[in-house]
């Protein structure tokens, strides 16, 4: 396999005399460019040309992007753009675009705007009438979908779940009826807890945990959600970036939230939370855990000052 430096030299040699010679050929406007998610060899030729020809490269961490440029022998003007300075930097970017600058936006790894900064910048650039161009490339979301072994015809990109248990459980309940494969990003430290919460809220679904994608120690573990949760709880947090892919609901879990809530509200008029959950779960053929979680929420919302009746059946 060719060394990354050899690849870079060959690519740059084909770029008509180096990066500065390419500056005039990169059209003015904002260019959204994907960068490798781990393996530097996954760089695209269009990315190298854009980085070499840009008047300005916006990046989350200039140190990370500088490493990528160094691998491929490119020099460029870098400026950080992230959630903490975005409001301050955007006006300067718009002024640069007004002067016909070619601006490239990259993230530390993967495709910008996919769980990364950039949405507000793109909307402001479009509103100002300047062109926006995508330079497709690596994406941890698509890479994980490709190797998960789960349906890919429809998928829902959730990104990171809320950290607090209550908010996380509410979000998972909302995801339960989504008729698509779910893609969830998570830190290695919270992986076991998140898998357990998903198993509780979604029921017995197939899933895959993909980590260190495209890197030397890439690993994909496929199993039921509860089995994956038990594995990582027993073996500790793994290293690296993690993507969780969860199978879509089966017919037994496809009942939408509105239908479930309506049935539970009716049942709660005459039954305890536990009995209402059991009867509605049987009636609609949904997991009892899901029905019970929704029943608790509905009972609390209906009577916030009173303790809901949560006794379990004897």
Written as one string, the DSSP assignment of 182-200 is EEEEE-TTTHHHHHHHHHH
Please provide residue 207's backbone torsions phi and psi, each rounded to the nearest 5 degrees: -155, 170
pLDDT at site 1: 39
pLDDT at site 103: 98
Total count of residues recorded for the chain = 314
Q: Are 202 and 176 in contact (CB under 8 A)?
A: yes
Strands 78-80 and 181-186: unpaired
The H or E element spanning position 211 is strand 206-211
Residue 91 burial (C-beta neighbours within 10 Å; 0-12, 13-18, 19+) = exposed
Written as one string, the DSSP assignment of 135-153 is E----HHHHHHHHH-S--S
Tokens of 90: 């955007």
Question: Which residues 6+ apart lie within 8 Å of 14 measured at CB?
Answer: none
What's the CA gap between 254 and 248, in Å, rounded? Answer: 9
One digit per residue, the tens of pLDDT, for the chain of length 314 reads: 344 444 444 444 444 344 443 444 799 999 999 999 999 889 999 999 999 999 999 999 999 999 999 999 999 999 999 989 999 999 999 999 999 999 999 999 999 999 888 999 999 999 999 999 999 999 999 999 999 999 999 999 999 999 998 899 999 989 988 999 999 999 999 999 999 999 999 988 999 999 999 999 999 999 999 999 999 999 988 988 899 999 998 755 566 777 888 889 889 989 999 999 998 888 877 888 888 999 999 988 876 544 444 444 33
The H or E element spanning position 75 is none
pLDDT at site 204: 87
In the numeric block, the tokens 């949760």 are attached to 229
| Coil/strand/helix, residue 33 | strand
What's the CA gap between 124 and 133, in Å, rounded? Answer: 14
Please provide residue 47's backbone torsions phi and psi, each rounded to the nearest 5 degrees: -65, -45
Question: Sign of the C-alpha dihedral, residues 14, 17, 19, 23?
Answer: negative
Q: 213: which DSSP letter? A: T
What's the CA gap between 112 and 170, in Å, rounded? Answer: 27
What's the CA gap between 233 and 199, in Å, rounded? Answer: 13
pLDDT at site 191: 96
pLDDT at site 105: 98
Q: Are 103 and 58 in contact (CB under 8 A)?
A: yes
Q: Are 237 and 188 in contact (CB under 8 A)?
A: yes
Task: Give which of 24, 43, 28 is closest to 110, Cα–Cα.
Answer: 43
Question: pTM of the full predicted structure?
Answer: 0.73
Please provide residue 206's backbone torsions phi and psi, each rounded to the nearest 5 degrees: -70, 150
| Coil/strand/helix, residue 132 | strand
Please provide residue 225's backbone torsions phi and psi, each rounded to the nearest 5 degrees: -55, -45
Question: Which residues 6+ apart lie within 8 Å of 120 measured at CB?
Answer: 86, 90
């Amino acid at each position: 396999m060719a060394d990354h430096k050899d690849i870079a030299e060959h690519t740059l040699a084909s770029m008509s005399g180096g990066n500065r010679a390419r500056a005039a050929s990169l059209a003015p406007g904002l260019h959204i460019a994907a960068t490798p998610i781990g393996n530097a060899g996954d760089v695209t030729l269009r990315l190298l040309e854009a980085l070499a020809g840009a008047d300005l490269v916006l990046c989350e961490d200039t140190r990370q992007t500088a490493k990528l440029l160094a691998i491929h022998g490119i020099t460029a003007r870098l400026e950080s753009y992230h959630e903490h300075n975005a409001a301050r930097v955007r006006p300067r970017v718009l002024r640069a675009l007004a002067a016909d600058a070619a601006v490239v936006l990259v993230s530390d790894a993967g495709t910008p705007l996919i769980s990364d900064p950039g949405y507000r910048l793109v909307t402001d650039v479009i509103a100002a009438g300047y062109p926006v161009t995508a330079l497709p490339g690596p994406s941890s979301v698509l890479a994980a979908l490709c190797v998960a072994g789960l349906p890919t015809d429809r998928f829902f990109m959730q990104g990171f779940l809320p950290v607090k248990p209550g908010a996380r459980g509410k979000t998972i309940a909302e995801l339960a009826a989504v008729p698509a494969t779910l893609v969830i990003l998570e830190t290695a430290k919270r992986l076991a807890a998140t898998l357990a919460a998903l198993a509780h809220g979604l029921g017995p679904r197939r899933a895959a945990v993909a980590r260190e994608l495209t890197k030397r120690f890439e690993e994909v573990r496929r199993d039921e959600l509860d089995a994956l949760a038990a594995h990582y709880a027993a073996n500790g947090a793994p290293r690296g970036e993690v993507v969780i892919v969860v199978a879509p609901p089966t017919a037994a879990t496809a009942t939408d939230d509105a239908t479930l809530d309506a049935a539970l509200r009716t049942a709660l008029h005459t039954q305890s939370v536990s009995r209402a959950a059991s009867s509605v779960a049987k009636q609609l053929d949904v997991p009892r855990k899901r029905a019970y979680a929704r029943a608790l929420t509905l009972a609390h919302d209906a009577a916030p000052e009173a303790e809901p009746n949560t006794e379990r059946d004897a």
